[in-house]
Structure 1
Amino acid sequence: MYAEGVPCWVDAQLPDVDAGRRFYGELFGWTFEERREDHGDSVWALLDGEPVAALAHKADGRMPTVWTVYFATPDAEATARRIRAAGGQLVTAPTPVGGLGVAALAADPEAAVFGLWQPGGHPGFGVRHRPGAFVWAELYARDTEAANTFYGHLFHEALFGPGAAPDFGRAPVADVFPEMMPPHFLVHFGAEDCEAALGAVSRLGGRVQAGPFTASYGTVAVVTDNQGASFALLER
């Protein structure tokens, strides 16, 4: 079970889940398990048989095509109240997902969207911190001090407590993106060889947005998949 405030799951909202299966299956070696009985039209991505992500059909074409990171919480309703009290807002109220757990979407005071996951039958990642799996989430913010205050209030132990290893960093938007880019979270997946992975992204119909560049946590490249969802590749 993941501690409160630790990234524990990611999903992608895509126009075409089958196209997503082909792209990510080829890029990361993922296999897929149907989850239609639990949460609409979605599949779980597996790496060596362990769950690493979900691909879900974007029900509303007006919604963005995005990867979302979910932070673990023992009580999604209580965390939602703290988010509102700290100046954030709820995008989607805590909602049971079959017997798997309770999910919510929220936005921080700069409108960067993130998820909450209160585990039930599904604790989150079965494997992480390796090529083809989640390794990091970076928040690109306008005001990193304000972000540290907001998330420090929300997830203090995970970010700043003894032995904290949150897999969650904060950086100014303009460090990597044009200044007009809105604040957002960027999900990072591990890559054994970042340059080789970039070649695969391009071959599969994706594109490179930025990098590779050196960050404090490794070599990073920002890409989009063949449907426009942005994510990062991280070589350590």
Structure 2
Amino acid sequence: MEIDSYQPGTPCWVDLSSPDPAAAERFYARLFGWTVVSAGEGSGGYRLCEVRDRVVAGIGPLRQEGVPAAWSTYVAVSDADATARAVRDAGGEVHVEPTDVMDEGRMAVFADPAGAVVAAWQPGRMPGAGLVDEPGALCWNELATRDPDRAREFYAAVFGWQAQAREIDGMTYTTWQLGDRVVGGMIAMGDDWPPEVPPHWSVCFAVRNCDAAAEEVRALGGAVLHGPVDIEPGRFAAVGDPQGAGFAVLSLRT
């Protein structure tokens, strides 16, 4: 589905911070068929990933030495500065103060009270991903946290989300609602999660065939962490790239 604008409060962009952006470019171009191009002079080596000539994600160098490779979720906002104030008022921590990204938009990076990191994107020339819910494009964003009650309060205050819990496959799963639209999900991290895994936001990309994508991840030097398994929306696998950044792939049901 092609998208040219996002309602504030909607996840709109994802990017990868990698210790080896060139290697990441090769991996994801092979896995998803992305065309990867430079974001231009002054972008600090940031790369834009495209499907059918529409941007779907970004790849850049690590923002800080010593941190692991990771995918980040950006949520569309109308005012990044006001969002940063709302984050502080709700008990979160601003990691990167609102700053202009050339004329593309204005961004801020923060952590919720449990420590999960997420970013805000105030669009300028670029609204966000131009394609979603198609092979090679973003199809889901999900929070994993050990304090879902606090998360409900925080994200309601910052993005206006309402949490809707329901039973799926014998477990309680929470979806984030923006008005009458579902914009993401949340799972509670129980005792089965390793204690060293911090609360985090994860990203999921649509693929045509989940099993084939998982095998390709292995062949390209990545790892399959869970699955493939059948879930309500389709067939799912949690994987990692060769630099250790985790993400998921999902072949969506029609």
| TM-score (normalised: structure 2) | 0.87
Q: Indicate the SS of the match to 2:181.
A: coil
Q: CA RMSD in A?
A: 1.7
1:205: which partner in 2?
Answer: 221
2:147: which partner in 1?
Answer: 143
> Whose helix proportion is higher, 1 or 2?
1
Task: Report whether the alignment pairs 1:163 with 2:152.
Answer: no
- Taking structure 1 as reference, are residues 216 and 84 closer, same or farther at Cα in structure 2, changes over 3 Å only? farther
2:210: which partner in 1?
Answer: 194
**How many angstroms does 1:33 deviate by?**
1.5
Q: Indicate the SS of the match to 1:205.
A: coil
Asked if the contact 1:157/1:164 (under 8 Å) is kept, the reply is: no
Letter in 2 for 1:182: P
Instruction: Provide the aligned length of Structure 1 versus Structure 2.
Output: 235
1:45: which partner in 2?
Answer: 49
Match of residue 135, structure 2, among 131, 140, 152:
131
**What percentage of aligned pairs have identical amino acids?**
40
Unaligned stretches of 5+ residues in structure 1: none
Give the Cα separation in 2 of the matches to 1:138 and 1:59. Answer: 22
- Taking structure 1 as reference, are residues 85 and 186 closer, same or farther at Cα in structure 2, changes over 3 Å only? same
**How many angstroms does 1:213 deviate by?**
3.2
- Taking structure 1 as reference, are residues 171 and 111 closer, same or farther at Cα in structure 2, changes over 3 Å only? same
- Taking structure 1 as reference, are residues 78 and 147 closer, same or farther at Cα in structure 2, changes over 3 Å only? same
| TM-score (normalised: structure 1) | 0.94
1:6: which partner in 2?
Answer: 10
Asked if the contact 1:189/1:234 (under 8 Å) is kept, the reply is: yes
Give the Cα separation in 1 of the matches to 2:28 and 2:242. Answer: 10
Q: How do residues 39-118 of structure 1 correspond to structure 2 at under 5 angstroms?
A: 39-118=43-122
> Whose strand proportion is higher, 1 or 2?
2
Moved more, 59-68 or 117-126: 59-68
2:166: which partner in 1?
Answer: none
Asked if the contact 2:9/2:178 (under 8 Å) is kept, the reply is: no
Unaligned stretches of 5+ residues in structure 2: 163-175
Task: Report whether the alignment pairs 1:154 with 2:161.
Answer: no
Asked if the contact 2:155/2:161 (under 8 Å) is kept, the reply is: no
- Taking structure 1 as reference, are residues 37 and 6 closer, same or farther at Cα in structure 2, changes over 3 Å only? same
Letter in 1 for 2:180: G
Runs of 4+ in 1 over 6 A off after TM superposition: none
